[in-house]
């Protein structure tokens, strides 16, 4: 039995999406491989995605965000699954990140240091995205993978971060869907 704790965070706001099918496939296959697996599907959570005062004041966390923080602490490996819209993640996922990965929980600056103390070390991550553009064009032009890795996950201590994109994901054929499903199953069975 694998003791690795895996948390899946689905950032698509629609419960009927290719991203949800990818998340469900990852969940089932990682669980069947003996991993401890939990999931956070954001379309099902109740929270205000706006950090109204930035970091200049406290904003009370909703119950769903408090439980999400506990699950993030619990996880050894965090899998983010979302579509690329306008070059980046949907606003629901960005709002979740803004509200959950707060100073004091995910990181903290000490004594005017430019380098924060990272509270989420010893965790790894896999980012799985879908995009409308072909894969080769995505890898040439999209900056999301660099931004989420460097300015978010590595910043709070999560390393390594691996990135998978499924391009040309609009109006996909059955063949393309099976390719996506098969690759997701392989990643899930390895807990990667």
Torsion sign, CA atoms 109, 110, 116, 117? negative
**pLDDT tens, 47-102?**
999 999 988 888 999 999 999 999 999 999 999 999 999 999 999 999 999 999 99
Q: Where are the domains of the chain?
A: 5-190
Position 19 pLDDT exceeds 60: yes
Position 20 pLDDT exceeds 90: yes
**pLDDT tens, 135-167?**
888 888 888 888 999 999 999 999 999 999 999
In the predicted model, what is the mean pLDDT of the chain? 94
Separation of alpha carbons 9 and 27, rounded Å: 10
- Residue-level pLDDT at 2: 60
Separation of alpha carbons 129 and 56, rounded Å: 32
**CATH number assigned to the domain with residue range 5-190, chosen from the 4 options 3.40.50.360, 3.30.1330.60, 3.40.630.10, 2.40.50.140:** 3.40.50.360
Position 7 pLDDT exceeds 90: yes
Cα 97 versus chain centre, distance: 9
Position 170 pLDDT exceeds 70: yes
């Amino acid at each position: 039995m694998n003791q690795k704790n895996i948390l899946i965070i689905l950032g698509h706001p629609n419960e009927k999406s290719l991203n949800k099918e990818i998340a469900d496939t990852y969940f089932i296959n990682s669980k069947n491989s003996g991993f401890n697996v939990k999931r956070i599907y954001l379309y099902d959570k109740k929270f205000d995605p706006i950090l109204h005062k930035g970091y200049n004041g406290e904003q009370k966390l909703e119950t769903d965000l408090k439980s999400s923080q506990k699950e993030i602490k619990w996880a050894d490996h965090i899998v983010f699954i979302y579509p690329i819209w306008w070059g980046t993640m949907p606003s629901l996922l960005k709002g979740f990140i803004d509200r959950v990965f707060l100073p004091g929980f995910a990181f903290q600056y000490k004594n005017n240091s430019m380098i924060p103390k990272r509270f989420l070390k010893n965790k790894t991550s896999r980012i799985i995205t879908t995009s409308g553009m072909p894969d080769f064009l995505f890898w040439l032009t999209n900056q999301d993978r660099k931004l989420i890795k460097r300015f978010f996950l590595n910043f709070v201590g999560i390393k390594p971060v691996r990135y998978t994109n499924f391009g040309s994901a609009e109006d996909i054929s059955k063949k393309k869907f099976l390719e996506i499903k098969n690759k997701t199953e392989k990643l899930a069975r390895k807990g990667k």
